[in-house]
C-alpha cells in the first residue's frame, strides 16, 4: 500500500461475500422437451427457440394446439405436479408419406449440435429463459429403431444430458415385444443417463381412453419425489403413477420369481410398470460391464448432482491469491457440503484429500489446484433376500414352556418328569 493517500479520515471498504462457499444442489426437476407442434401459435412458440411453459397455465398450454406436445404437457399435469418446462418446438414435416414424415421429424428433433437446432437448443434454455433441464424427453419420436440402429433423438439427448451433467433422458422403447424393448435398451448399454420404458400407458385427458408413451409420467414421478424430499438423492420407483389408468400391455410380476417379465425387463435395462400403476424402474440402460455398477438411477443421479453442485459456487475462489488460506477455505467448503450430504443420507461417507503428488510446484505456479474428493452414494435397496429354514430346537423351547406351565398348576397328583 502506498505511504501517501488522498484522504484524511476513516474509510470502510466492505466485502460482504461469504468466505466459505455455500454449495447446494440446483433444482434439477425442470423437464426439457423437444417436439413438433404443427398447430401451435407461431408467436408464442417460435420454432427452435426455448420457451418456458407452465403446467398450470391452461391458456399457454392451449396455444400449443392439439397434438403430441400438448398431450405431453397434459401427462405432467395429470401426475399432479406443477412445473415449469423448457420447451423447444421442432420443425414439423408436411410430407404425406407417413414413414418419410416420421423420419424427417425425428431428424428435426435430433437436430444439429453445431447449429444448436432441435434438442440441442435446450442447451441454451438456461441463458434464454432461466431454466436448465434436469431431464430430457421427446415422446412419440424416441422409440423407433429406423434401420435397426439406435434412435437418433435419444442418441442426441444422451449427449446433451452429458453436457448438462446432472440430467437424465427418459425414452420409450418399442412395444411389440419385450425382446425388442431389450434390444432397444442395448443400443444405450454403455451410457448411464438413459432410462428406457416399456410398455405404454392408458390415459384419459378428457376425450376418452387413449394410449400414450410412459416417459412424461415417469419424469413427473421423478419430479414429484424430488420435491417431496428436497433434492435428487432419493429413488422414485416402487411408487404408483397417478396419471395413468393402466398399461397398454400387462406386465407380469410375481414376488420372489426372477423369470417374470417385470424382473426380466429390469435386468435388461428397461423400466416398466407392474400391477397396472406401480413404477418398477430402478435402473438405467447401463448393462455394459464397464458401466453396470452405475446402473442405479438413484446412485448416478446422486453422483452427477454432487459433481454439478460444486461447479458454480466454487467460482468465488477464482482470482483469489493462491495461498494456504484460500486452499483452506476451499477444503472447508467441500467438507461442509459433503458433511450435509451424509446427514441427509445421500452419501455414506467421504474424504477430501490434498495430494502433493497431484499438485507439483509447476502446477501451482500456473495457478492450478487439484483437490480430490472420495465418497460413496447410499444405494437404494433393490434385492431383499430373506432366507427361511426349519428350527427344530424351537420344540425344546415349547417342551420347557409346557413343563413350566404344568408345574405352575399346583396340583398334588400332577407332576413334570424328565
Whether residue 5 lies inside any domain: the answer is no
* Residues 263, 372 within the same domain: no
Q: Where among 283, 304, 325 does a domain terminate?
A: 304
What's the pLDDT tens digit per position in 172-222?
999 999 999 999 999 999 999 999 999 999 999 998 999 999 999 999 999
* Residues 151, 300 within the same domain: yes
Domain count within the chain: 2
Whether residue 281 lies inside any domain: the answer is yes
pLDDT at residue 15 tops 80: no
What's the pLDDT tens digit per position in 285-329?
999 999 999 999 999 999 999 999 999 999 999 999 999 999 999
Arithmetic mean of pLDDT, 366-386 = 96
Q: Where among 257, 284, 304 does a domain terminate?
A: 304
Residue entry with cell 442395448: 186
* Residues 99, 77 within the same domain: yes
CA of residue 26 relative to chain centroid, distance: 13
Assessment of whether the complete model's pTM goes beyond 0.75: yes
Q: What is the pLDDT of residue 183?
A: 98
| Residue 354 burial (CB count, 10 A) | 14
* Residues 92, 45 within the same domain: yes
Closest among 89, 88, 86, 75 to 220, alpha carbons compared: 75
Arithmetic mean of pLDDT, 96-110 = 97
* Residues 117, 211 within the same domain: yes
* Residues 249, 351 within the same domain: no
* Residues 213, 344 within the same domain: no
Q: What is the pLDDT of residue 1?
A: 53
Least confident of 245-254, 308-317, 409-418: 409-418
* Residues 248, 329 within the same domain: no
Arithmetic mean of pLDDT, 384-396 = 95
Whether residue 238 lies inside any domain: the answer is yes
Pairing of strands 50-54, 84-90: antiparallel
| Backbone phi and psi for residue 344, each to the nearest 5 degrees, phi listed first | -85, 0
Q: What is the pLDDT of residue 418?
A: 82
∠ Cα 250 187 73 (to 5°): 55
Whether residue 14 lies inside any domain: the answer is no
* Residues 226, 364 within the same domain: no
Q: What is the pLDDT of residue 318?
A: 95
Q: What is the pLDDT of residue 337?
A: 97
Q: What is the pLDDT of residue 221?
A: 97
* Residues 325, 295 within the same domain: no
Q: What is the pLDDT of residue 358?
A: 96
Question: Sheet of 84-90: strands edge to edge?
Answer: 50-54, 84-90, 31-36, 135-137, 168-172, 194-197, 270-274, 278-280
* Residues 324, 178 within the same domain: no
Whether residue 383 lies inside any domain: the answer is no
374 pLDDT tier (thresholds 50, 70, 90): very high
18 against 163, higher pLDDT: 163
Q: What is the pLDDT of residue 195?
A: 98
Which grid coordinates are listed for 250?
400387462
**3-state SS, residue 204:** strand
Q: What is the pLDDT of residue 265?
A: 98
Q: What is the pLDDT of residue 33?
A: 98
Q: Where among 304, 326, 350 does a domain terminate?
A: 304
Q: What is the pLDDT of residue 2?
A: 57
Structural domain span for residue 336: 311-377
pLDDT at residue 46 tops 80: yes
Whether residue 12 lies inside any domain: the answer is no
User: What are the Cα distances from residue 287, in Å, to 229, 338, 342, 366, 386?
Assistant: 28, 29, 28, 41, 26
Average pLDDT, the chain: 95
* Residues 71, 55 within the same domain: yes
18 against 237, higher pLDDT: 237
Whether residue 386 lies inside any domain: the answer is no
Whether residue 121 lies inside any domain: the answer is yes
Contact 119, 111 (CB under 8 A): yes
239 pLDDT tier (thresholds 50, 70, 90): very high
Amino acid at each position: 500500500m502506498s505511504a501517501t493517500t488522498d484522504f484524511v479520515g476513516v474509510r470502510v471498504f466492505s466485502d460482504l461475500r461469504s468466505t466459505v462457499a455455500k454449495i447446494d444442489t440446483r433444482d434439477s426437476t425442470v423437464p426439457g422437451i423437444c417436439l413438433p407442434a404443427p398447430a401451435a401459435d407461431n408467436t408464442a412458440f417460435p420454432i427452435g427457440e426455448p420457451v418456458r411453459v407452465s403446467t398450470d397455465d391452461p391458456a399457454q398450454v392451449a396455444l400449443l394446439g392439439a397434438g403430441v406436445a400438448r398431450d405431453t404437457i397434459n401427462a405432467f399435469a395429470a401426475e399432479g405436479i406443477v412445473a415449469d418446462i423448457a420447451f423447444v418446438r421442432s420443425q414439423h414435416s408436411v410430407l404425406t408419406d407417413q414413414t418419410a414424415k416420421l423420419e424427417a421429424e425425428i431428424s428435426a428433433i435430433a437436430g444439429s449440435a453445431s447449429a444448436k437446432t432441435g434438442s440441442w437448443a435446450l442447451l441454451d434454455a438456461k441463458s434464454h429463459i432461466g431454466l436448465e433441464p434436469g431431464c430430457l424427453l421427446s415422446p412419440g419420436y424416441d422409440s423407433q429403431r429406423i434401420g435397426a440402429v439406435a434412435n437418433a433423438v435419444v442418441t442426441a439427448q444422451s449427449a446433451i444430458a452429458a453436457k448438462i451433467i446432472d440430467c437424465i433422458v427418459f425414452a420409450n422403447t418399442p412395444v411389440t415385444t419385450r425382446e425388442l424393448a431389450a434390444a432397444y435398451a442395448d443400443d444405450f448399454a454403455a451410457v448411464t443417463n438413459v432410462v428406457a420404458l416399456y410398455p405404454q400407458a392408458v390415459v384419459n385427458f378428457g376425450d376418452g381412453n387413449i394410449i400414450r408413451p410412459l416417459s412424461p409420467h415417469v419424469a413427473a414421478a421423478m419430479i414429484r419425489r424430488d420435491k417431496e424430499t428436497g433434492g435428487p438423492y432419493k429413488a422414485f420407483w416402487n411408487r404408483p403413477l397417478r396419471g395413468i389408468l393402466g398399461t397398454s400391455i400387462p406386465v407380469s410380476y410375481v414376488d420372489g420369481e426372477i423369470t417374470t417379465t417385470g424382473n426380466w425387463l429390469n435386468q435388461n435395462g428397461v423400466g416398466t410398470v407392474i400391477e397396472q400403476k406401480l413404477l418398477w424402474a430402478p435402473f438405467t440402460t447401463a448393462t455394459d460391464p464397464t458401466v453396470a455398477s452405475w446402473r442405479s438411477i438413484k446412485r448416478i443421479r446422486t453422483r452427477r448432482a454432487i459433481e454439478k453442485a460444486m461447479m458454480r459456487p466454487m467460482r468465488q475462489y477464482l482470482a483469489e491469491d493462491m495461498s494456504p488460506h484460500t486452499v483452506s477455505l476451499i477444503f472447508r467448503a467441500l467438507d461442509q457440503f459433503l458433511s450435509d450430504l451424509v446427514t441427509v443420507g445421500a452419501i455414506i461417507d467421504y474424504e477430501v484429500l490434498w495430494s502433493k503428488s497431484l499438485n507439483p510446484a509447476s502446477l501451482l505456479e500456473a495457478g492450478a489446484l487439484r483437490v480430490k474428493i472420495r465418497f460413496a452414494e447410499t444405494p437404494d435397496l433393490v434385492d431383499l433376500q430373506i432366507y427361511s429354514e426349519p428350527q427344530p430346537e424351537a420344540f425344546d423351547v415349547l417342551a420347557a414352556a409346557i413343563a413350566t406351565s404344568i408345574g405352575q398348576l399346583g396340583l398334588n397328583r400332577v407332576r413334570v418328569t424328565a
